[in-house]
Structure 1
């Protein structure tokens, strides 16, 4: 637990860490209050870009969790931040994606939407995807546009079950273009570094708290960030202790994390 001594900010995964389904998990309010009292920065980090940060804030508020929109870092938000530090004002962009991604790319007027000769193709999940959109994106990428994907998640959890996610759309475009995109979201380190910067922290002083080894913990390791695996979601203790992806700390839940932190 010594890694907690130097922490000044926390990035939380959401589903499986703060809540499960529509149920808030134990210890969330107590831990967030404790962080507030110590002026620690914290936010949420998620590959799911189907909602805007404001919509996520509303979703969390409905469960009694206060999280300002500017502390909700989706893969779309991270992609927008990455693009603004990499490409100049007025760069022409074609988006394959939904409202959350479109707002992150075009919301402030920095980029110009282009359906004729874009310089970038930025792709996320698209629940109303058409062949025409795939056709256009394929031709643009083959014509030289740089291809960027928000996240590699092949499936998306819905009420009906798992449905195609951003990674499934990526698979179609890779098959049609033979071009592998630059990927921003988990488990790539870019999103984690952007999250730390948005909280005014460094990667070394920002703790990642997640429930999945293959996305949350792998991304933290790639970014050089300390990590805690909570056993309230997908990955279990045996996988974490015997597998190749190893968090700094394995802990039962958020109350146990807070207790350990307070004991330092």
Structure 2
């Protein structure tokens, strides 16, 4: 039987929680991705690292990847600015090396925060703000000055937090909020969950979005961005989000497919079938009666999760169940919690 991926001509794959966690590969990820015969583009909201650095990390894990196989939110930001500013315009780069490199490759004259501080009369036409571990309050001040003076402001992403090996750190969204507070303005955001990064990937793959499958572990970024870009999406249960969070997700954050891990990409996909009384996936057959599960037969954990979340989504959408009731029912269908 054909595998899930046979319905698509390319894959856009998230990284953290899908391919790796920190320095280590997610279980089965490398062998599963190596087995794919369609082009893969790795897309990340992380703006601080240049594509070649990301590719080197993936190569260390055992994947055959070059910088051309990586798309970053910095690159999406540079593309967005190219459509808003004249060629060679001066752009202030806030963030790590990936931000500066993306602007240089797009043909802009890059201005650093230090240079802007030393030459206060230097006028910049744009600001590209991304994450960088060494971003300072002085850097944010230069961004605020430029934005207040009319510079076009693009943010690579607005992730509020950043997971690190020591815990949760402020993400780029926290830094963007500081400039918003100072200027009273909002940036154009290009990273997930917004569509530009995914559109950049589709353009680079030379495929229409409908032929590309987006794979990720987060509903509010990976899946939401795919929905906005018109791509089908697959949520893998190896990272941030779970069956429990999927059960209460709004329609704009619901994936086309639910996968236990990346191996499922090459396997036949068992979809949910329903007559709107019973919900069936493989060997799992269930329905809701008086706010409780009525299970005719239990399937595998992933079959149970697919049938159960589809049933709960129908109940939520028709206001038959509140979120509190859904959360009470979810433990019975979430083997990964």
Q: TM-score, normalised by structure 2?
A: 0.72
Q: Which of the numbers 80, 87, 90 marks the counterpart of 2:88?
A: 90
Structure 1 residues 2 and 241: alpha-carbon distance in aligned structure 2, compared to 1, 3 A threshold: farther
Q: Which of the numbers 108, 112, 119 marks the counterpart of 2:109?
A: 112
Partner in structure 2 of residue 156 of structure 1: 162
Partner in structure 1 of residue 247 of structure 2: 241
Q: Which of the numbers 142, 158, 171 marks the counterpart of 1:136?
A: 142
Partner in structure 2 of residue 11 of structure 1: 12
Conservation of the 8 A alpha-carbon contact between 2:92 and 2:110:
yes
Question: Which consecutive aligned stretches of 4+ in structure 1 deviate over 4 angstroms post-superposition?
Answer: 1-5
Q: Which of the numbers 126, 149, 152 marks the counterpart of 1:146?
A: 152
How many residues are treated as equivalent by the alignment?
A: 257
Conservation of the 8 A alpha-carbon contact between 2:238 and 2:260:
yes
CA RMSD of aligned residues (A): 1.9
Whole-angstrom distance in 2 between the partners of 1:118 and 1:23: 40
Conservation of the 8 A alpha-carbon contact between 2:33 and 2:262:
no
Give the 5 Å matches for 1:188-207.
Answer: 188-207=194-213
Structure 2 SS opposite 1:162: strand
1:139 is displaced (CA, Å) by: 1.5
Structure 1 residues 239 and 157: alpha-carbon distance in aligned structure 2, compared to 1, 3 A threshold: closer
Q: Which of the numbers 50, 53, 78 marks the counterpart of 1:52?
A: 50
Whole-angstrom distance in 2 between the partners of 1:231 and 1:113: 40
1:68-124 Cα offsets, whole Å, 9 max, x none, are 11111111122122223443211111111111111111246x111343110101111
Conservation of the 8 A alpha-carbon contact between 1:3 and 1:226:
no
- The runs of 5 or more residues in structure 2 that have no matched partner are 117-121, 270-337
Structure 1 residues 154 and 242: alpha-carbon distance in aligned structure 2, compared to 1, 3 A threshold: closer
- The runs of 5 or more residues in structure 1 that have no matched partner are none
Q: Which of the numbers 57, 64, 67 marks the counterpart of 2:65?
A: 67
Conservation of the 8 A alpha-carbon contact between 1:44 and 1:73:
yes
Structure 1 residues 258 and 169: alpha-carbon distance in aligned structure 2, compared to 1, 3 A threshold: same
Conservation of the 8 A alpha-carbon contact between 1:207 and 1:227:
yes
Whole-angstrom distance in 2 between the partners of 1:58 and 1:4: 26
1:5 is displaced (CA, Å) by: 4.8
Residue 217 in 1 paired to residue 223 in 2?
Answer: yes
Conservation of the 8 A alpha-carbon contact between 2:51 and 2:72:
yes
Partner in structure 1 of residue 237 of structure 2: 231
Whole-angstrom distance in 1 between the partners of 2:184 and 2:148: 9
Whole-angstrom distance in 2 between the partners of 1:232 and 1:130: 33
Conservation of the 8 A alpha-carbon contact between 2:22 and 2:165:
no
Q: Which moved more, 1:200-209 or 1:151-160?
A: 151-160
Q: Which moved more, 1:96-105 or 1:16-25?
A: 16-25
Structure 1 SS opposite 2:267: helix
Larger radius of gyration: 2
Conservation of the 8 A alpha-carbon contact between 1:12 and 1:42:
yes
Residue 259 in 1 paired to residue 260 in 2?
Answer: no
Conservation of the 8 A alpha-carbon contact between 2:81 and 2:126:
no
Bigger relative CO (Cα 8 Å, ≥ 6 apart)? 1
Conservation of the 8 A alpha-carbon contact between 2:90 and 2:109:
yes
